[in-house]
Structure 1
Amino acid sequence: MKPLSTVAAPGVAERAEALADAACELHDAASTPGSWSAAAVEDAVESMETTALALAAAHPDAAAAMLAIGQQLAQLRERLGLPPGEHPAGPDEDEHQEQPVAPTPLRRPRPRRGLGPGYQGLRIPPGRTAAGR
């Protein structure tokens, strides 16, 4: 088994940490079934699907595990009456099962919905102004 790298690509570690923090905050805010709306559930499922696609590229073993998670998320969408996701849950039955799973790129960026409760403003390096001078 090939070990994972000890150094992440630029921005990956920071974004993964922010994702973990956001997941904890979501758990704290939505601890009861009445906390959720259909749109909020759909957004949460979509974020999990996108995260699974990103993790599939981390390691061949991760790709296999993320395939199973993607299939479970597709079933969850169906059970909850949510529209199908943008990403396939797994290979078609016609495809050979031994092919490696490659992440598919996002088709469209998600629209920004506001700054949110964690917004802390822009960080401008010392000695620079907002205009960049």
Structure 2
Amino acid sequence: MDTTMQKQNKWIAVLISFFMPPLGMLYLAKIKLALLYFFVASAIDITELYFHFFEGVYWLEYFTFNYILVFVCAFHAFKIANSLEPSSLRPWYSKWYGLTSISLVFLSFVLSAVFLFRSFFVTTHRVQYNII
């Protein structure tokens, strides 16, 4: 077993946080911050869906507040990675196999939900006129 002291790479933390903010915090072994970013992103998504579909705020088609959250999380990950001390003991979820397995489990949940709900899509007669 490797017992060398390693510090998480700050640029890898920024890159991971830029594409999926909770995973960047898991890479830095900050599980509470990862959960916070996940729930904040989910709340932003639900709020934007409500305003887009029920209130008619159509500029949300071109902009999402999650863009701001991504940049905030990437900057936050950079600051945390700079302040961390090197450690040989990291939790399983902050290592490459933990991040990969969490990503695959999340992806399988999303794809199964899409398959279950999207498979029951029924077209109306208005759509059929456009096809003919």
TM-score calculated relative to the size of structure 2: 0.26
| Larger-gyration structure (1/2) | 2
TM-score calculated relative to the size of structure 1: 0.26
* Structure of greater relative contact order (alpha carbons < 8 Å, 6+ residues apart): 2
Q: Quick check: which one's helix share is greater?
A: 2
